[in-house]
Chain A
Amino acid sequence: MIEFKNVGKKYSGGSFGLEKVTFSVVPGEFVYLIGKSGAGKTTILKLLIGEVKPSSGKIIFKGHEIQRFSRGNIARLRRKIRMVFQDFKTLFDRTVLENVMLSLYILGRRGKEAEAEAKKALKLVGLEDKYNYFPVQISAGELQRVAIARAIAGGPEVLLADEPTGNLDPETGGEIITLLEEINRDGTTVIVTTHNAQLVDKARKRVIAIEEGKIVRDQKEGAYHAS
């Protein structure tokens, strides 16, 4: 479903970005991308939604080379591969419900239908009593859930989550991971970046470790540290 073939990315500043990254993900998989800050995890996710173009190599989604996509095709791609951003990117002048509806409107849902689907997504992340709250009125963990609800509303094929536990206490982080695993069980392919060793070790999922822009380990049912 997703394939990286010798993908390189050089940022204009001269920092390394990525080098010869090769891996593939099959439908329904759950993948942890791990590595220190600055290793290149976010860059991999951004390449997948076409926000960043690779300097070399191919990125393939369902047989199509993403790096060659037109703007219109990238827009369509982003409706299938939805990302939960590290900084959430919620709109602070909209309610929780309205924030989730944003992504449904883009999918072409209207009025009542959009509202019903948004509520369904919010229920799934456990925010059914916060529809009309504004982002400043809820906690960081709840904001993370709003961002997840917005990404899964309308049913994407792939969910990318960039450090979803980064800003959270361990317990709340664990709940978020549980939620992502539930979403994965319902059939969505999930890729999560993290540097939280404890959660990765507990999950026993596939682990792709990155160091200085290179893949150093790709292990099924792996742990945070190489065994």
Chain B
Amino acid sequence: MHLRTAWNHIRRSPYQACAAILTMALTFFVAAVFFLAAIGIQTILADFEKQPQITAFFSDIKSEEDIRLLDEKLKGTGTVEKTVYISKEDALRIYQEQNKDDPLLLEMVTADILPASLEISATDPKHLEGLAAILEQEPGVEDVIYQKDVVDRLIAWTQVARTIGLVLVLVLATVSLLVLLTVISMKIALKREEIEILRLLGATNWYIRWPFLLEGGIYGVIAATLAWGASFMAVWYSLPFIKSFLTGIVFTGLSPLLILTLLGGLVAGGFLLGVIGSFFALVRYL
């Protein structure tokens, strides 16, 4: 009943409805993209944390026997949890696995040009420096990579991105709330006479309010659904690009559960934002 009245309100002023829906959809779209990005980064971080914390790459002068001795020396410090030796052939296998869709890249690479490496997990991150010092003094060690550095930088970036996202979403939410307030206020003004008549015929305040609240809610739900669709389109189209950028990381993020959770969250958020916007207008003008 109230829903029908709300629907009639919307139908009679499609342009205002569009303005409200589009600004809200933009807000939700940005929120959704930042949310998905956060989840993506979380996955990447988790992946990094599973990986060894320090990796030493060897030049070809280093024999397997040398590396075995080095391995023992490292373990002798008592700060190493485990090590994994990756020979040139292992490296090629990993490379082939990561680039199995790209024959051109596969052709270009042979085991010869890939370095052998030792992945070392420390019992505690604070021992990493000592281990790195040993490695750097060792002849035949070409490069030492701290995963910690990468993770730290990633976390810092995440922090920045999260702040930007939050501020952006807050600003957009305020704007859409204001647009909604304006649209609903205009409708209340246009319906002054009708509202007055309804009151004289015995309508309660809530009888008059419900359609407006639902109208705001409907705007929110439509906007949320649009934003949801758009954000997945955006992720879908940019995923191959992101994947090529971050080889070796398995994306398990886009599960159906996540997709539905996001839809549910957006729709609930949209409905709430819409109802709140209308409510402010009603408090102000009714």
Q: Are B203 and A106 in contact (CB under 8 A)?
A: yes
Q: Is the CB of A51 within 8 A of B202?
A: no
Q: Counting CB contacts under 8 A, is B201 at the interface? A: yes
Q: Is A9 an interface residue (CB 8 A)?
A: no
Q: Say yes or no: B200 contacts A49, CB within 8 Å.
A: yes
Given A105-B1, A110-B1, A91 and B203 contact (CB-CB distance below 8 Å):
no
Q: Which residues of B have CB within 8 Å of A85?
A: 200
| In the complex, number of A-B residue pairs with CB atoms less than 8 Å apart | 45
- Over the window 187-201 of chain B, the binary record of Cβ atoms lying under 8 Å from chain A Cβ atoms (1 yes, 0 no) is 000000110111111
Query: Which of B200, B202, B205 has most chain A Cβ within 10 Å?
Result: B202
Residue among B1, B196, B201, B204 making CB contact with A103, cutoff 8 Å: B201
Residues of A within 8 A of B204 (CB): 71-72, 75
With a cutoff of 8 Å between Cβ atoms, the chain B residues found around residue A102 in the complex are: 197-198, 201
A129 to B199, CA, bound (A): 29
In whole angstroms, what is the CA distance A51 to B196 when docked? 11
- B207 near A: Cβ within 8 Å? yes
The answer to whether A89 and B202 touch (CB under 8 A), given A105-B1, A106-B207, A110-B1, is: no
Within 8 A of A (CB), among B176-227: 193-194, 196-205, 207
A19 and B122 CA atoms in complex are apart in Å by 96
Find the B residue at minimum CB distance from A82: B201
Contact residues, B200-258 vs A (CB, 8 A): 200-205, 207
User: Is A91 a contact partner of B202 (Cβ separation < 8 A)?
Assistant: no
Taking a contact as CB atoms under 8 Å apart, the answer to whether A106 and B201 are in contact is: yes
B196 shortest CB reach to chain A, Å: 8
Inter-chain contacts of B203 with A (CB < 8 A)? 75, 106
Q: Let me know if B200 and A89 touch, CB within 8 A.
A: yes
Q: Which residues of B contact A89 (CB under 8 A)?
A: 193, 196-197, 200
- What interface size band does chain B fall in? 10 to 19
Given A105-B1, A106-B207, check contact A51 B200 (CB 8 Å): yes
Size range of the interface on A? Answer: 20 to 34
Nearest residue (CB) in A for B2 is A105
For chain A, residues 37 to 73, give those with C-beta under 8 angstroms from any C-beta of chain B: 49, 51, 71-72
B205–A71 contact, CB under 8 A? Answer: yes
The answer to whether A77 and B198 have CB atoms under 8 Å apart is no
Residue from A76, A83, A91, A110 within 8 A of B200 (CB atoms): A83
A79 within 8 A of B: yes
CA distance A71 to B200 in the complex (A): 12
Residues of chain B with a CB closer than 8 A to A91's CB: 193-194, 197
CA distance A78 to B197 in the complex (A): 11
Contacts of B1 in A (CB 8 A): 105, 110
A106 to B1, CA, bound (A): 11
Provide the bound-state CA to CA distance between A89 and B201, in Å.
10
| Smallest CB gap from B205: residue in A | A71
**B193, B200, B205: which contacts A78 (Cβ < 8 A)?**
B200
Chain A residues whose C-beta falls within 8 Å of the C-beta of B197 in the assembled complex: 89, 91, 102
Q: How far is the CA of A85 from the CA of B193 in the complex (A)?
A: 14
Question: Shortest CB–CB separation between residue B160 and chain A, in angstroms?
Answer: 52
Nearest CB of chain B from residue A64's CB, rounded to whole Å: 15
Contacts of B205 in A (CB 8 A): 71-72, 75
Which listed residue, B193, B196, B202, touches A106 by the CB 8 Å rule? B202
Q: Is A206 an interface residue (CB 8 A)?
A: no
Measured CB to CB, the closest approach of chain A to B97, in angstroms, equals 64
Chain B neighbourhood of A75, CB < 8 A: 199, 202-205, 207
- Provide a sorted-by-A list of 21 A–B residue pairs whose CB atoms are within 8 angstroms: A49-B200, A71-B205, A72-B205, A75-B202, A75-B204, A75-B205, A78-B201, A82-B201, A89-B193, A91-B193, A91-B194, A91-B197, A102-B197, A102-B198, A103-B201, A103-B202, A106-B198, A106-B201, A106-B202, A106-B203, A107-B202
The 8 closest A-B pairs by CB, nearest first: A78-B202, A79-B202, A75-B204, A103-B201, A106-B203, A89-B197, A75-B202, A106-B202
Q: Which residue numbers of B lie inside 8 Å of A, CB to CB?
A: 1, 193-194, 196-205, 207
In addition to A79-B201, A106-B198, A107-B202, 10 A-B residue pairs with Cβ atoms within 8 Å of each other are A51-B200, A71-B205, A75-B205, A77-B202, A78-B199, A89-B197, A89-B200, A106-B201, A106-B202, A110-B1
